[in-house]
Amino acid sequence: MKRLPLALAALVGLLASGCFSVQRTAPKPGLTSIGSKPVTLPGHVIGNVLVIEDKWDKFGPYHFVIDTGSSVTLVSPDIARRYASEEPRPDDEPQVRVRSSGGGYALLDAVTLKRFQLGAARFEYVPALVYDCADVSAQFGTRIDGILGFPLFRNAVMTLDYPNERLVLRSRIPDDGLPGEAILFNNVDKIPLIPIRLGDREFAALIDSGSGAAIDINPAGLSPEFAFGPVDGPTVSTLAGDRPSKVGRLSGVIRFGSFDVARPVAEVTDELSSLGGGILSHFTITFDQRENEVFFQRDQGEPLAIPPLRGSGLSFRKTPAYWKVAGVIPGSAAAAAGIRTGDLVSRINGETVAAWDPARYDQLVASAKSIDYTFIDGARESVKTLGVTDLVP
């Protein structure tokens, strides 16, 4: 998992997004069966990340994040317990070492799922890692049962239809083709890398549907110019712990294929540059891994604009009872009010935090001039009113 969905503004979760790096090659699924008809699953776009819903056994419905930036699939302990193969793991590899974008490592149990389904699409002998998605579920405001990595769909044609909030799976490209513009991608490392231009410089960027950010950019060799910043941004949580971020607005135009995004808000990274949901969510995107092609379709004619990054300076880890402050941006309204990492918030504008799902909180941050946060200290509560500003105009 890579980084925080910046559209979730002050929310910080263990998933913020994207790319896992694993110290072994991710194997292919053993068998993929889709049939002649497309398989369509409904979903919701939460913080620019597509979360799909499926009920294929008596224990569902299940909710999964589709993460094209991940080279592995993660499933909850419950799914692993029900569907993992009974074949024993080798004693010398009881766990898999996973590297987060922060540079640290975590150990997760490896399993092979005898079967896994998405609607009528059936996957057999799927390699996966077991991961407790409780923190991720709290951040998204709905139960998350797994994070489906790019290799799972190696033998399928996968469409992420953000405008209609759905996932479509096909066995092959239709005879009459697909709408949109095709871009070749590099699939050698089992992740989709496409060429991106910034001014007169070309570089490779990961298509990272697990990230809610617009773009993450590695400045090495690019020396990008910023119209604003970079400045201190929200705290980012990874498997290995929290880290600060740097965010700014680029002064140039990002181009992929014939699509232009002028002056996007970008997070500075020392990992792979990537396109996240802040841009991807404006498109219907289809991946054909057998031909190493990705199709971008966008019906709207107006230029694609990335809104300001707004906030009061707080990043949170969420639970149903309270939100814990995970980070305070220096120089922000929260910092001026003396709020510290570890402080607990029980109410927002007088309502319990349980009433604030991510979409509603996003809307509040996008439009409010100030927010009342109720902090708890033992049995005492105190309200602090924090101004909401454009952290990156």
Assign domain 193-278 to its CATH architecture: Beta Barrel (2.40)
Res 99: pLDDT: 60
What is the rounded distance in angstroms from the CA atom of residue 48 to the CA atom of residue 4?
A: 11
Q: How confident is the model at residue 18 (pLDDT cuts 50, 70, 90)?
A: very low
Q: How close are the terminal C-alpha atoms of the chain, in Å?
A: 27
* CA 85 – CA 27 distance, rounded (Å): 15
Band the pLDDT of 240: cuts 50, 70, 90.
low
The mean pLDDT of 24-37, rounded to a whole number, is 68
Give me the residue spans of the domains in the chain. 6-170, 193-278, 309-392
Kindly give the pairing relationship between strand 215-217 and strand 265-268.
Answer: parallel
Q: What is residue 273's predicted lDDT score, i.e. its pLDDT? A: 94
pLDDT at 332 exceeding the cut of 90: yes
Superfamily holding 6-170: Acid Proteases (2.40.70.10)
Least confident of 13-17, 115-119, 123-127, 384-388: 13-17
Residue 88 has pLDDT above 80, yes or no: no
The whole-angstrom separation of Cα 28 and Cα 51 is: 23
- Residue 320: C-alpha distances to residues 145, 285, 348 (Å): 17, 34, 13
Q: Are 95 and 107 in contact (CB under 8 A)?
A: yes
C-alpha closest to that of 279 among 295, 266, 294: 266
pLDDT score of 21: 40
In the structure, what pLDDT confidence band is assigned to residue 77 with cuts at 50, 70 and 90? very high
> pLDDT per residue over 210-226, tens digit each?
999 999 999 998 889 99
pLDDT on residue 30: 67
Same fold, 193-278 and 309-392: no
CATH architecture of 309-392: Roll (2.30)
Segment 89-96 mean pLDDT: 57
Q: What is the average per-residue pLDDT within 65-93?
A: 82
